[in-house]
Amino acid sequence: MAGTDALVLASSRPPTAAAPAKTKSGNLLPKLRVYVGYDPRLHLPYQITRYSMIKRSSFPIEVIPIQQSELRKANIYTRVRDPSDITEFTLTRFLVPFLAGFDGWVMFVDSDFLFTGDLRELAELIDDRYAVMCAKHDYTGKATTLMDGQVRGTYPRLNWSSMILFNCSHPKNKILTPEFVGTQPQTYLQKLMWLEDDDIGSIPQTWNFLVGHCELPKDNATLCPKAIHFTEGGPWYDQWKSCQFSDLWFREQDEFERSQQVQSDLQDELVKLMPRTCNMIVYQTKSGVVK
């Protein structure tokens, strides 16, 4: 990926002047590394996921896209693509502890989210007793048709890993090497079967609110979830343009695109100023003012 897309997909580091987050375990977290699954078909949703979390975080976060093509080039992800893989990051998410050097707490999130909450609040829930932490959704029912017509069945711990905090230093996560992720059955990884129930900490479902499945509190139906997950398909698809919270997503998209236009206009102005500035420096040098 080259040009502007390469810049867009680069890791994003906001200013580091903000105070660190204090976790539930009492540790100070200077920043949170956030790995976001990237699929070329979901480029715009990825941008909105990234933009919305950076915009609202009151402490530093580093956003890192997980691109399967790059992992394959580096010989980190080598397994043959399975037809049942819904996205390019269906299984690459489980490489996050390895990619993070098996060090500290990091977050993985799918690229079809809209964040309305401050990630500092999420970081404050981190508890070192657990290998991972996630929203423990209880799925019942039949298979679901997703996004562009793909079908997903149901299984235990479904969607638990769509937004997950990894304790990369935890001994039980050391097993998640490229060799292990590349050879284990898909369901083994998706069900987090290398972990026992007691290894998995719970996060409130407001941090992974599944549109079409989760329900708002009856006594506060206007409450906005902190992380909205368009798991079955989002407003970027014609058939989902009127789904729950689509208005918020379109508002975020409009703001994102306007911010991109402002940045583009500023860059254009800087490019226009460069020849003039260079000429001034050359003139001043020749006249002896600048040496």
Q: Is residue 232 part of a domain?
A: yes
Q: Is the pTM of this model over 0.85?
A: no
Number of domains in the chain: 1
- 143-160 residues labelled b (16+ CB within 10 A) or e (exposed): ebebbeeeebeeeebbbb
Report the pLDDT averaged over residues 130-156.
Answer: 71
The per-residue DSSP string of 222-237 comes to TPPPSEEE-TT--TTS
Predicted pLDDT at 175: 98
Predicted pLDDT at 4: 32
Q: Is residue 199 part of a domain?
A: yes
Q: Is residue 213 part of a domain?
A: yes
The per-residue DSSP string of 121-171 comes to HHHTT--TT-SEEE------SS-EEETTTEEE---TTTTGGGEEEEETTSG
Residue 236 banded pLDDT, cuts 50, 70, 90:
very high
Q: Is residue 276 part of a domain?
A: no
DSSP one-letter code for 12: B
Residue 84 banded pLDDT, cuts 50, 70, 90:
confident
Tell me how crowded residue 283 is: count the other CB atoms within 10 A of its CB: 11
Residue 238 banded pLDDT, cuts 50, 70, 90:
very high
Predicted pLDDT at 289: 43
Predicted pLDDT at 183: 96
Residue span of the structural domain in which 23 resides: 4-244
Q: Is the pLDDT of residue 29 over 70?
A: yes
Predicted pLDDT at 145: 53
- Looking up residue 217, the CATH number of its domain turns out to be 3.90.550
Residue (of 39, 26, 176, 212) closest to 95 by Cα position = 176
Predicted pLDDT at 129: 98
Percentage with pLDDT > 90 across the chain = 70
Please, what is the Cα angle at 175 between 171 and 177, to 5 degrees? 130
Contact present, 23 and 29 (Cβ < 8 Å): yes
**pLDDT by residue (tens digit) across 146-157?**
555 555 566 788
Q: What is the phi/psi pair of residue 13, to 5°?
A: -120, 110
Tell me how crowded residue 141 is: count the other CB atoms within 10 A of its CB: 7
Range with lowest mean pLDDT among 31-35, 59-63, 112-116, 260-264: 260-264
Residue 81 banded pLDDT, cuts 50, 70, 90:
confident
**pLDDT by residue (tens digit) across 244-285?**
999 999 999 999 999 999 877 677 777 777 765 555 554 454
Predicted pLDDT at 271: 79
Q: Is residue 285 part of a domain?
A: no
Range with lowest mean pLDDT among 8-12, 175-179, 276-280: 8-12
Contact present, 89 and 189 (Cβ < 8 Å): no
Q: Which two tokens stand for residue 117?
A: 């909450």
Predicted pLDDT at 151: 53
Q: Is residue 184 part of a domain?
A: yes
Predicted pLDDT at 83: 83
Predicted pLDDT at 150: 56
Q: Is residue 287 part of a domain?
A: no
Q: Is residue 291 part of a domain?
A: no
